[in-house]
């Protein structure tokens, strides 16, 4: 996600940097859950129990980043496309 962010004003840098770092932790947790639950649940288990909640967290993260940047510069567009997740991301 970091590589796809726009230029970040210095005044927003620490807040913006903190969000992807927290998201990295959530992604690691989702990957662990995927490994630990192989074969469990029905066909929608991965989507409903892992990917859906992770996407919600990614959406919240991009929203916080947009707000942080938008306080001192133009609110970035196109970050919503970073929220969806699939296996392999």
Instruction: Give the pLDDT band (50/70/90) at residue 86.
Output: low
The pairs formed by 33-38 with CB atoms below 8 angstroms and a separation of 24 or more are 34/87
- Res 6: pLDDT: 76
Report domain extents, the chain: 2-78
**What are the pLDDT digits (tens) for 6-53?**
788 899 999 888 988 888 898 899 999 989 988 888 778 988 999 999
Start-end of H helices in 1-89: 13-36, 45, 52-70
Cα dihedral sign for 86, 61, 65, 19? Answer: negative
């Amino acid at each position: 996600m970091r590589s796809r962010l726009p230029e970040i004003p210095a005044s927003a840098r620490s807040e913006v940097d903190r969000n992807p770092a927290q998201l990295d932790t959530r992604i690691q947790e989702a990957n662990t859950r995927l490994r630990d639950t192989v074969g469990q649940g029905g066909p929608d288990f991965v989507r409903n129990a892992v990917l859906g909640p992770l996407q919600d967290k990614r959406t919240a993260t991009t929203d916080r980043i947009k707000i942080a940047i938008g306080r001192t510069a133009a609110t970035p567009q196109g970050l919503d496309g970073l929220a969806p997740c699939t296996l392999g991301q």
